[in-house]
Amino acid sequence: MNMVGKTILITGASRGIGAAAAREFAVAGANVALLARSTDHIADIAGEIGEKALAIPCDVSRHSEVEAAVAATARTFGGLDVLINNAGVIDPIGDLSDADPDAWGRAIDINLKGVMYGMRAALPGMIAQGHGTIINVSSGAAHGPVEGWTAYCSSKAGAYMLTRGADLENRSKGVRVMGLSPGTVATEMQREIKASGINAVSQLDWSDHVPPEWPAKTLVWMCTPEADAYMGLDVSLREQTIREQVGLV
């Protein structure tokens, strides 16, 4: 999958799926902008990738920072071809009756409003150039409730509707919008879930989770015409047919 000459912006790129995706797109030849609040980690990954990588400190819950990051990426590399809205948090985990309203709202700020901010900043340029791809990292939690995850499920369900709405409005303008539901992935988020001891997901063994390289490779595949049938939808990495198309074993 050749991405030479393409520019990719990835939020939440300091670890997990975001970091793996940055490396995978770089291997495919793309320019990569890595966004995260953890500046040291993205700087290290950008240094590892080399001159085709740009590290940008950014809190996705702040619209002005996201807008500035998109502008800096386009200015550095001459445009933006792909936006990966990957940044997300699982906290707070627990019963809604005990939830901290501020922590609950913070999850919405990152997982839902952060996705909207990325799309709002990237869409005008993509529409003007007549092409672009936006992929929102989704979850099975977008489609069904999970005990103790009211903030996460609500935010992911909202982001899925953003995917569908943005596709409805922008497909005819040349912009491809989809989501990736990666299943359970061996990342720090799964360690937080495990520590909570709440719901069946926390009881899974570490070996049950797929490596972050799997969703990373899938994100690259989703930038190709082979994934066009999934515009406006979530691609589920739980499906064997998807794994086969991506080349995962």
Helix/strand/coil (H/E/C) assignment for every residue in 64-114: HHHHHHHHHHHHHHCCCCEEEECCCCCCCCCCHHHCCHHHHHHHHHHHHHH
Quick check: is 152 catalytic?
A: yes
Residue 1: the pLDDT is: 74
Residue 224: the pLDDT is: 97
Q: Where are the alpha helices (DSSP H) in 90-234?
A: 101-108, 114-129, 150-170, 188-196, 213-222
- State the number of CA atoms in the 13 A half-sphere of 171 facing the CB: 13
pTM of the model: 0.96
Quick one: average pLDDT of 90-112?
97
> Which residue has tokens 């047919």?
241
Residue 6 pLDDT level (bands cut at 50, 70, 90): very high
**CATH for the stretch 7-183+212-246:** 3.40.50.720
Q: Tell me: pLDDT of 94 over 90.
A: yes
Domains of the chain, residue spans: 7-183+212-246
Catalytic residue among 117, 152, 160, 230: 152
